[in-house]
Chains A and B, each alone.
Chain A
């Protein structure tokens, strides 16, 4: 990119400009390829080594193609790692969290976007400020409270908070609602629609793009969550995929079976990658909105 436009120099001939442009482009794409390799090599190796025989994983320098393909690494990993149960638990927590996040955040965002009430802007600033509160500050009292009401070793601590709104998702949804023209609402009001009807039958269908972004972020959040399940779920029957994978890799005596650990990691990563490829646009949008929040 850089060299392409140094046109005011004495070397202004057509040939020189074209040459620098060419060199610039080659450098540019070279850099992009090197960086892509840097980002993707660890994931590619995870995938390849999950099919390797164990002794091949420890070879130096690293090898990329399995000497023999061993799909049995996956079935072996499944034996130790209770995939069925952990998968079901993770799905349960994830689906209910998505439902809670979408419902509560759309409702709250609509309240902030479309009604005037005293202290509305102050409350919204408080909402933004909670984004900066370190999780370590909440951790202990919230844990103690769950302990007191007997919610340790249940899924409630991982699901219930979603039904009370997430500051970041509310922000996303509010920005979207603010962009919907007021005329549409006025028309519905003149037709005699109630606030609740306007919300459910006019606004929600219009807000679908924002809701998809929230669903994706919420999915990613629950599926990847480690700390929550780690402290709240002690019973192995309640473990989620993240905890299952962690326990599998840290079992005494399991430290060496890299190929099966990579097979287990592959099984946990694949669903996320599939969702990512299906909804790339929404993932990128989600990241972008976090760039706008300030």
Chain B
């Protein structure tokens, strides 16, 4: 079924590295055809991944405003970021809140919804479609809609809170709760995570549950000992994808705060800060922005590495189930 990173790596180790000169003429022809077929991607990865990856690293040591050629200034940007940019830390903290909150929401709520749908419900396809539907709505339209969902005076959310007797909030005006508004909005995309979990749950063989039942396991024991262990590869993957994406949260906050990350920078996320320096400052500070981008890359890389390396301890792969 799934090809995990783990299985990709072990597949590589298992095979002897082939050298060009050892290939027979027929294999050489095959290799040439293969390289020809993948050549568009080779060009693409050089132009759109490798070049910008290296160039942004180099630009991060320069003063660069697009109009004039970059001017080498060494570590000055990094120095300024860490000692002289209060918005760096603030935006990093805001982003951290969004990452923690939205990943938790998507994993917990996505898993819970998938469990509900996996309980032999009628009209499974219909429910799945309804839950997935908001995820396909263009983000600009979603942002316009949520501006009014979270509207303090007449919004949907405050109407709901009022209807069930809870206090109302000024979602966009109060810096202490502004980020929570975006976390509530992030439930919009839970359907994507849910669909992935549901596919995982449907892949668990019924016999495992039957065996557990015969052994006298109750609902909670079956959940803890069968469902969750077998779902760890999917949970792992969803955490990884969602963390990488959440660190880059930008568009909805840019649209809903008109690029400001307000109120008083309470929703200024890391990418918003970076975008500000590159595209809203005059003159543009592309070098500074590149330094910010590389710090973000290192942060995301760090989290990815931690998750990938610790995964061996808690992710359980069924023997022989892969490939």
A-side interface residues toward B, CB under 8 Å? Answer: 1-6, 8, 28-29, 31-32, 35-36, 38-43, 45-46, 49, 57-62, 104, 107-108, 110-112, 114-118, 120-128, 130, 132-145, 147, 161, 163-165, 170, 175, 195, 199, 220, 223-224, 226-227, 231, 241-242, 245-246, 249-250, 258, 261-262, 264-265, 268-269, 272-273, 276, 280, 283-284, 287-288, 290-294
Chain A residue, CB-CB nearest to B195: A287
Residues of B within 8 A of A140 (CB): 52, 55-56, 59, 278, 286, 289-290, 293
Q: Is the CB of A288 within 8 A of B196?
A: yes
| Contact of A111 with B38 at beta-carbon distance under 8 Å, contacts A36-B131, A141-B56, A291-B196 already known | yes
Q: Is the CB of A108 within 8 A of B40?
A: yes
A1 to chain B, nearest CB (A): 3
Q: Is the CB of A136 within 8 A of B296?
A: yes
Known: A41-B156, A142-B48, A242-B139. 4 other contacts (CB 8 A): A6-B219, A108-B38, A163-B40, A273-B133
**B140, B237, B248: which contacts A226 (Cβ < 8 A)?**
B140
Q: Is the CB of A226 within 8 A of B139?
A: yes
Chain A residue, CB-CB nearest to B34: A115
A118 CA / B135 CA spacing, docked (Å): 40
A23 to chain B, nearest CB (A): 14
**B141, B191, B255: which contacts A268 (Cβ < 8 A)?**
B141
| Contact of A137 with B52 at beta-carbon distance under 8 Å, contacts A32-B121, A35-B131 already known | yes
Q: Is the CB of B251 within 8 A of A265?
A: no
| Contact of A121 with B31 at beta-carbon distance under 8 Å, contacts A220-B136, A261-B144 already known | no
Q: Is the CB of A32 within 8 A of B44?
A: no
Q: Is the CB of B116 within 8 A of A36?
A: no
A161 CA / B274 CA spacing, docked (Å): 23
A134 CA / B32 CA spacing, docked (Å): 32
Residues of A within 8 A of B101 (CB): none
Q: Is the CB of B133 within 8 A of A288?
A: no
| 5 shortest interchain CB distances as A-B pairs | A164-B44, A115-B34, A111-B37, A1-B119, A291-B196
Q: Is the CB of B47 within 8 A of A164?
A: yes
**A5, A58, A273: which contacts B153 (Cβ < 8 A)?**
A58
B278 to chain A, nearest CB (A): 6
Between-chain CB contacts (< 8 Å), 12 pairs = A62-B156, A104-B41, A104-B44, A130-B45, A133-B49, A133-B53, A137-B297, A138-B53, A227-B251, A242-B138, A249-B255, A288-B199
B309 at the A interface (CB under 8 A):
no
Chain A residue, CB-CB nearest to B278: A140
Residues of B within 8 A of A135 (CB): 248
Residues of B within 8 A of A262 (CB): 144-145, 148
Q: Is the CB of B34 within 8 A of A39?
A: no
A175 CA / B323 CA spacing, docked (Å): 11
Q: Mark B3-26, 1 if CB is under 8 A from A, else 0.
A: 111001101100101111001000
Residues of A within 8 A of B233 (CB): 294
B247 at the A interface (CB under 8 A):
yes
Most chain B beta-carbon contacts within 10 A, residue among A60, A117, A220: A117
A138 CA / B46 CA spacing, docked (Å): 12
Chain B residue, CB-CB nearest to A135: B248
| Contact of A280 with B129 at beta-carbon distance under 8 Å, contacts A117-B30, A137-B293, A287-B196 already known | yes
| Contact of A61 with B162 at beta-carbon distance under 8 Å, contacts A42-B149, A127-B45, A137-B293 already known | yes
Residues of A within 8 A of B128 (CB): 284
Residues of A within 8 A of B32 (CB): 117
Q: Is the CB of B47 within 8 A of A39?
A: no
Q: Is the CB of B43 within 8 A of A164?
A: yes
Residues of B within 8 A of A145 (CB): 51
A20 to chain B, nearest CB (A): 11
Q: Is the CB of B34 within 8 A of A111?
A: yes
Q: Is the CB of A132 within 8 A of B286?
A: no
Q: Is the CB of B33 within 8 A of A29?
A: no
Chain A residue, CB-CB nearest to B289: A140
A68 CA / B304 CA spacing, docked (Å): 54
Residues of B within 8 A of A4 (CB): 119
B186 at the A interface (CB under 8 A):
no
Chain A residue, CB-CB nearest to B252: A226
B175 at the A interface (CB under 8 A):
no
**A39, A132, A258, A268: which contacts B134 (Cβ < 8 A)?**
A39
Most chain A beta-carbon contacts within 10 A, residue among B49, B136, B274, B300: B136
Q: Mark B231-247, 1 if CB is under 8 A from A, else 0.
A: 00110111011001001
A35 to chain B, nearest CB (A): 7
**B9, B18, B258: which contacts A116 (Cβ < 8 A)?**
B18
Q: Is the CB of A45 within 8 A of B145?
A: yes
A196 to chain B, nearest CB (A): 9
A38 CA / B15 CA spacing, docked (Å): 51
Q: Is the CB of B35 within 8 A of A117?
A: yes
B282 at the A interface (CB under 8 A):
no
**A31, A134, A164, A269: which contacts B141 (Cβ < 8 A)?**
A269
Q: Is the CB of A141 within 8 A of B55?
A: yes
Residues of A within 8 A of B241 (CB): 290
Most chain B beta-carbon contacts within 10 A, residue among A29, A59, A224, A272: A224
Q: Is the CB of B216 within 8 A of A8?
A: yes
A155 CA / B278 CA spacing, docked (Å): 21
Q: Is the CB of B49 within 8 A of A130?
A: yes
| Contact of A231 with B43 at beta-carbon distance under 8 Å, contacts A38-B187, A161-B48, A291-B234 already known | no
Q: Mark B245-282, 1 if CB is under 8 A from A, else 0.
A: 00110110001001000000000000100110011000
